[in-house]
Chain A
Amino acid sequence: MEYKDYYKRLGVSRDASQDEIKRAYRKLARKYHPDVSKEENAEAQFKEVQEAYEVLKDPERREAYDQLGQNWREGQQFRQPPGRDQGGFDFRGGFTGGDAGAFSDFFESLFGGGFRAAGGAGGSRQPRGQDQFARIDISLEDAYSGATRQITLENPEVDAQGQVQVKRRSLNVRIPAGMKQGQQIRLAGQGAMGGDLYLEANIQPHRWFHLDGRDVSLTVPIAPWEAALGAKVAVPTLDGEVSATIPAGAQSGQRLRLKGRGLPGKPAAGDQYLILKIVTPAADTDAAKQLYRQMAETLAFDPRAGAWS
């Protein structure tokens, strides 16, 4: 396992006071808290910060950690110094609770294991019989058509000796068609110790469709003559290709609506919007240059007429 530099993680020196540690933690907790953070990997970062604080806020644990010495570097291969049993310190219990779970192997080897919490998919440790929450990543296509997905949950269970053990469990879950971003499904009785399991859909960004509620939008490049004269162009929808009519006189940035082509749902399915983008051909041949010159002479067009008046 890898050594973790908890001081570095909180950005404090090894001789920082407990107050300094607390201040550093609070600042980082606000920065990375998954409910308010805009940082990437906020959830993972937040866990790292929490783990560091879990150790450094407690003078006893901090001392045990300091005893490892100063020569370790972040990420260095680590094993217990001789003469110390695995989990020799009895630090069980007294954790901050809730999402404190899923701390690193490094943490668990120092302070005792058995506290890895539920929810490989971002869930949280829950007391007996309570509901469990997890986030599930689904593609936009799956949100549109529905899908069956296997999810793995880690549930803490108390065994006959009174120890908390992690039990892994896989479920095949039907994702209904038309799930929106952030929408939840409830799986009755599938939570920790008999509670319900809630899965929140996290729809992954799509290569070319953008999702807004139930509506999807798509940027459609068109030629100047398609914009000017109107055209029928083939465009992808979540249900396959359709032929869309570009009206004559279309402009860049204009939006066309394909009714009912967004995510299905009640009372009405979403729509698909086509955002038109006029692309001009390169004038890289004599013939092309000639055509542009001819347009310039014939059309007497001033694109900036009235633009700044």
Chain B
Amino acid sequence: MKLIYEKSQPGRRASTVARPDGLPDAHVPEELRRKNPPRLPEVPEFELMRHFTELSTRNFGVDTGFYPLGSCTMKYNPRINERLAALPGFAALHPLQEESGAQGALELMWRLQEILMEVTGLDAVSLQPAAGSQGELTGLMLIRAYFESKGESEHRRKVVVPDTAHGTNPASVTMTGYEMTHVKTDARGNIDVEDLRAKVDENTAALMLTNPSTLGLFDENIEEIERIFHGAGALMYYDGANLNAVCGISRPGDMGFDVVHINLHKTFSQPHGGGGPGGGPIAVRDILEPFLPVPAVVRKDDGSFGLDFDRPQTIGKVRAFTGPFGVFVSSYAYLRMWGDRLREMSEAAVLNANYVLARLKDAYDLEFDRLCMHEFVLSARTMKKEHGCTALDVAKRLMDYNFHPPTIYFPLIVPEALMIEPTESETKETLDAFCEAMLAIAREAAAEPELLKEAPHDRPVKRLDEVRAAKNPVVKYGFEGHPGQPHAATAAAVDEAPQGA
């Protein structure tokens, strides 16, 4: 399919821009004026719509079909979210509007904070972080500020992260200037408590833990882990990526965690948008509240709502304004539609996952044979050994059955991992069809392995060469110089050819 730049012709356009007459001339010094125009596409409006509509048909979302991408919680995104976020009272509201002109937005955020406190079992919330990984970063900054206030930041330099963790955890540790301590997983898929005990001391600042873990397993020793960390004066960070498993069942605050981030785009139905926007609010125990980012969204004594910038111990700001407000609209609406029934969401997610696990565990390897929570990890280890088909091949073959593949090769401790998270929002018919496909693929691996190796067969492209992409990166359209497109340049005359390329 052509790029929009390859459909461009000089003189075409989709926009009409206001050009009022009779206004004064605005002078811009010549040395600051642009010399060559940016080569943006030149297309009429209908070509624009057709181009992006065609692109959308080459994409697969939850609206298209089953999307069991482990640890990403690809649940249904209610359409009411979109209608509400687009209301002019929300969408056209400027973030620097005076408080008196933003009471509805402030109240919505305050109410969302209250719900998140109840769901996490913690004492205060900041909605500011833009995504889960920024929530992690913010949480670690709070922990650092807390130890600074106690005069312990010089020696408390270590953050403990299990080997099953999302890659964001260690990356966040580095970005906050902490040092990583790795801890192993035991034979049941829990944190290896003996390994942990040996590594936690007065130099430990915190644990970062996902519970249930990326193996989809709830850590059975969580109470002991809590005693080890708090006993050493360290704090506990909860990566909320897997919160969908435990809403209304077990709260991070009750497990002993001091700070939690919540992925609004996973657990609370903000659409993932092809890779964002997300929302990564953090909830904290009262000891960390003084350090939260500013401004805080507060309800005042007179019942009105406002922004409080007067937090002398704040870490500062991690993002502009109060956070991605449109995401809050979606998640707040979603949470109100569940209300006091929220537990049923997690129960269905866990039931669905265990059902699919039960149907598939004989056809694939299962590293840790336990009941799972909202997701589970299979392995194609035996399939690879016996038939030469890998987790990647299974993933690509699933596309031929019109399912989005699971997460693969993660967590790192399971070879040939297939990480499957069905979420709560599926019918049994869909789950059965997926199981049938997975079982058929296991049979095909033995009988006709090339069906897997050559997959996908009927997507817009065949298997793509990722090594080639990384070796000689082509990361933008090169116009007349674009590889394999000698006649592509029509948008700009060569003598105008500007920057870069």
A and B interact physically: no
Partner-A contacts on B (CB < 8 A): none
